[in-house]
Amino acid sequence: MMATAPLSAHISAAAGPKVTLMLGALVVAVGYGLGVVMMAAARQVVVMCCVISAGVGFAYGALPALIMGAVPLSETAAANSLNSLMRSIGTSASSAVAGVVLAHMTTSFGSLTLPSHNGFRVIMGIGSAASLAALVLAAFLPGRRVAADAGVPAAANAAAGVGS
């Protein structure tokens, strides 16, 4: 994720955070899609994880910029806190779904019952589908715009006699 941060920032500056978010969702979907077919060797899993992490880096970097542009300046802290809370809820919910899938798609190995290879494939498919859904939803977000109260701090400072 850290490796994609400079590129994510460049794309956000050039095309806007909405485009960066959509690109991130697409990269994550591709990564999970790779996971459906690339789980035979450790190096394949590493490639898949790197692709997913790159997409997450793009998406997570774009979200605060989208939030800051969508809410009044006085509400940015609350909006970013809500974003953090929603990420935590999403992580918990997706972990629960993965646990249910793996618990129901098992295979026997001697006296042990283990999650099956197909269970992991299903989870990767669900992740890819969820990422594609995020891509579609992100397409409906407003594009670049100037925040409604962008001039408020300057006007407030002028009225208070600060910076004169």
pLDDT of residue 61: 86
- Asked if residue 57 belongs to a domain, the reply is yes
Q: Is the pLDDT of residue 164 over 50?
A: no
The answer to whether position 104 is within a domain reads yes
In a domain, 157, yes or no: no
Classify 147 as helix, strand or coil: coil
What pLDDT is recorded for position 159?
46
**So what's the pLDDT on residue 144?**
64
pLDDT over threshold 90, residue 104: yes
Q: How far is CA 30 from CA 4, 36, 43, 144, 159, in A?
A: 16, 10, 17, 26, 52
Average pLDDT over residues 123-138: 97
How many structural domains compose the chain?
A: 1
Q: How far apart are CA 80 and CA 63, in angstroms?
A: 9
61 within domain boundaries: yes
Average pLDDT over residues 114-134: 97
| Residue 99 in domain | yes
**Would you say residue 148 lies in a domain?**
no
- The Cα-based distances of 38 to 17, 45, 49, 66 in angstroms read 30, 7, 11, 33
Give the integer Cα–Cα distance in Å for 89 and 85.
6
- Tell me the per-residue pLDDT of 135-161, one tens digit each, with 9 for 90 and over: 999 999 987 655 444 444 554 444 444
**Residues spanned by the domain of 73:** 2-143
**What's the rounded mean pLDDT across residues 102-128?**
95
**Residue for token digits 């542009």?**
69
What does pLDDT average to over the chain?
Answer: 88
**Confidence band, pLDDT 50/70/90 cuts, at residue 1:** confident
Residue 116 lies in a domain: yes
Tell which residue, 74, 65, 69, has the closest CA to residue 153: 74
The model's pLDDT over 43-91, given as tens digits with 9 standing for 90+, comes to 999 999 999 999 999 998 899 899 998 999 999 999 999 999 999 999 9
- Indicate which CATH number applies to the domain containing 50: 1.20.1250.20
Say if residues 127 and 28 touch (Cβ distance below 8 Å): yes
Q: Is residue 53 part of a domain?
A: yes
pLDDT of residue 3: 85
Give yes or no for a contact between 59 and 25, defined as CB atoms under 8 angstroms apart: yes
pTM: 0.83
